[in-house]
Chains A and B, each alone.
Chain A
Amino acid sequence: MGKIVGLTGDETAAEAMRQINPDVLAAYPITPQTEIVQNFSQFVANGVVSTEMIRVESEHSAMSACIGAAASGARAMTATSANGLALMWEICYIAASYRLPIVMPLVNRALSGPINIHCDHSDSMGARDSGWIQLYSENCQEIYDNLIQAIRIAEDKEVLLPVMVTLDGFIISHAMERVEILEDEKVTEFIGEYKNPYSLLDVDNPVTWGPLDLYDYYFEHKRQQIEAIEKAGEVIQRVGKEFKEISGRSYELMENYRLEGADLVIVAAGSTAGTVKAVVNQLREEGVKAGLLKIRAFRPFPVREVSQALKNAKAVAILDRSVSFGAEGGPIFLEIRSALFEEAKRVPVVNYIYGLGGRDIGIDEIKAVYKNLERIAQTKKIEKLVGYLGLRE
């Protein structure tokens, strides 16, 4: 039997990492990720993991060391937030293109400036084209479950890509929740062993990692990378099913929450999905056909599944906790609006930017969004395509 404990998001991530027991962990402290590194350091100090921990002098070196370790056949992990992710940006792209299955919890925080330590998704959304798989977590339980599944997804032979598992800074990272923890042995068995067939340490079969790749091959290599992340969609679903067998909790690319017969649908990622669920339950009791589509995998983006889930809705609002400056709407909105383009019936979609720099979002704001969706469904008219929630104007 596993156990039920009270843990914060950061503690949960650290606990999952203890059970994963990576061969190498290279990390640098940054708020609000700090507790993950602190807790893991304690595991190392207590001798409960066999991890070689590298306390690097920057996130750039953290990701570089992860690349060196993973290319050497070691299971390598790190963790970061916002500016830390930005500092390792260059190396994130290299990790993905070298097809190294590095797993990293990313505690979402606003990417400066001005400096702000609280939650939004500008860090992970900015890295959406780096080639990493992105799994968003609604709560502590999902952080735990996503991290363990991420190892299997990343290391799948048909994928071999790095995975970032996001959790909302402070809102989840520092909030204590009930979490079901599996037995250590179950996790060990589920994740299996990492084997890199082209290890740097296989000195009898030397390989060259990271050669100069010019116009005669680079494009084909990028195509292979595209295929790998496309393939990841199926693998995420397969691993989700297998994870259910050991945990009882099932995972898909996204979560359809009371979407059957839903006319008014909100799309959200991260902790806000939990708040939306509470509103959906209230509205359903009032007879309003409200529903939620929760994004779990943002990369790869489940285009068909999303359009299938939304095509019968009468109005859809997409909540984005980040901005794509100069674009008409946030990153999730742009993906979904594009995904719905192929549908024969036009579904009205609007976008709300919210929660930047940790600005809170509550029940009332979400209710107002459903109210607006109701109006759109009735009038078939969109007054404002991109709006803001909880903003002084």
Chain B
Amino acid sequence: MPSLKELSKKKELLSGGQRLCAGCGASIIVRQILMAAEDPLVISCATGCLEVATTIYPFSAWRIPFIHCAFENSASTLSGAEAAYRSLKRQGKIDRTIKFIAFGGDGGTYDIGLQALSGVLERGHNLLYVCYDNGAYMNTGIQRSSATPQGAATTTSPVGKAIPEGKQRPRKDLTQIVVAHDSPYVAQANPAYYNDLIKKVQKALNTEGPTFINILSPCPRGWRYESSQSIQIAKLATLTGFWPLYEVENGKYRITYRPKKRRPFREWLESQGRFKHLLSEKNKGIVERLEREVEEKENKLLALAGETPSSA
């Protein structure tokens, strides 16, 4: 694999001047992915921040073929393009090698687009689906999704006298749902660990069949932190065990980065305004429960990967 220094010399395929917020994880993720790809790409994108901020007519930040259709169908729209490619190739009407990547946020993937994603995985289309997971409907103004972590305050899971903890339900584990589809390559990545992310993208694109990468996407507006801190906070997500980095290749689990010693989960909560209310004395019990859950999840994952449990 070429070094990041070499890769950074490649022409940027997502131009500057697009209108995502400063510190937005989505554009950092997309640029890392486009850097990683070796073949020409066709992109689809669900309605959401990434789409609206990069394609305001008559402008487009995409220097590669791009289609946006609607919110819940990034996967199915791209499955049509990929089927067209296979059909035209078989008929000898096209000879290039093209790879396909669908993007969707967590709202467009965990929630409204889950069925379309499941269909694509089951049908075995040769494409990579990337979920940039910022843990809420950020484009419409920070509403809770099924990816919102338990305890986070959003505009539809606000903190109040009757509900002091914000979101009451734990998040859905989408990565595991995709693993259950027996996809040949499934991974979780984090833009703070760019080498790891790039490697995973290259692996996915070189795997035949439907592949999936769930990527944590820090959001200064929704998570309530200084926009200069995005990468630090993303890093903390992995260091505290909230966002473990792993891959599942043909059913085989591998932890791709394991911190020597996991940092206290509390640091993750303290880093963002959306969890501020959890730090009060009355929510102590909730924090303890969340800490326990992170540890349990981590140990479960370690066991799946055949590694020794955490002693933290």
- What residues of chain A have their CB less than 8 Å away from a CB belonging to chain B? 23-24, 26, 50-52, 54-58, 60-61, 64-74, 76, 90-91, 94, 200-203, 206-214, 217
Contact = CB atoms under 8 A, between A and B. Distances in A.
A61 B69 contact: no
A54 to B, nearest CB: 5
B79 A23 contact: no
B65 A211 contact: no
A217 B84 CA distance: 30
B98 interface: yes
B44 interface: yes
Nearest to B85: A201
Contacts of B41: 203
Nearest to B59: A211
A211 B55 contact: yes
B109 to A, nearest CB: 14
A58 B79 CA distance: 13
B60 A208 contact: yes
A206 B84 contact: no
A200 B123 CA distance: 22
Interface in B74-125: 76-88, 90-91, 94, 96, 98, 115-116, 118-119, 122-123
A267 B232 CA distance: 71
B83 A54 contact: yes
B183 interface: no
Contacts of B81: 68-69, 71-72, 200-201
Contacts of A213: 57
Contact of B42 (A61, A200, A214): A200
A206 B62 contact: yes
B133 interface: no
Contact of A57 (B40, B52, B70, B122): B122
B20 to A, nearest CB: 13
A76 B80 contact: yes
Contact of B94 (A66, A91, A201): A201
B72 interface: yes
Contacts of A66: 80
A201 B123 CA distance: 21
Contacts of B84: 23-24, 52, 68-70, 72-74, 76, 201
Contacts of A208: 55, 60, 62, 65-67
Given A54-B123, A68-B80, A90-B70, A24 B87 contact: yes
A202 to B, nearest CB: 7
Contacts of B27: none
Given A200-B65, A203-B64, A212-B57, A68 B115 contact: no
A56 B76 contact: yes
A71 B67 contact: yes
Given A70-B80, A91-B70, 9 more contacts: A50-B87, A52-B87, A61-B79, A64-B69, A72-B85, A76-B84, A91-B69, A201-B42, A214-B57
Residue of B57, B87, B115 contacting most chain A CB atoms (<10 Å): B87
A26 B79 CA distance: 10
A251 B87 CA distance: 33
B116 A201 contact: no
Contact of B77 (A55, A64, A217): A64
A214 B79 CA distance: 28
24 contacts: A24-B87, A26-B80, A26-B83, A50-B87, A52-B84, A52-B87, A54-B79, A54-B83, A64-B73, A64-B116, A65-B76, A65-B79, A68-B77, A71-B80, A76-B80, A91-B70, A94-B70, A201-B42, A201-B81, A201-B96, A203-B64, A203-B98, A206-B65, A208-B60
Closest 5 CB pairs of A and B: A68-B80, A65-B80, A74-B84, A57-B119, A61-B76
Given A60-B73, A68-B80, A94-B70, A217 B87 contact: no
Given A201-B88, A203-B40, A217-B58, A69 B80 contact: yes
B75 to A, nearest CB: 8
A185 B87 CA distance: 20
B63 interface: yes
B94 A74 contact: no
B60 A211 contact: yes
A38 B298 CA distance: 47
A200 B44 CA distance: 10
Contacts of A60: 72-73, 76, 116
A114 to B, nearest CB: 25
B277 interface: no
Nearest to A55: B123
B98 A64 contact: no
B56 interface: yes
A58 B114 CA distance: 12
B98 A68 contact: no
B80 A67 contact: yes
Most buried by A among B67, B77, B85, B118: B77
A91 B115 CA distance: 15
Given A23-B88, A65-B80, A91 B55 contact: no
A74 B81 CA distance: 8
B87 A212 contact: no
A310 B67 CA distance: 46
B51 interface: yes
B200 interface: no
A72 B100 CA distance: 12
Contacts of B144: none
B167 interface: no
B274 interface: no
A225 to B, nearest CB: 15
B19 to A, nearest CB: 10
B70 to A, nearest CB: 6
B83 A24 contact: yes
B41 to A, nearest CB: 8
B11 to A, nearest CB: 12
A60 B112 CA distance: 12
Nearest to B119: A57
A212 B123 contact: no
Given A26-B83, A55-B123, A68-B80, A210 B118 contact: no
Given A203-B40, A209-B67, A68 B76 contact: yes
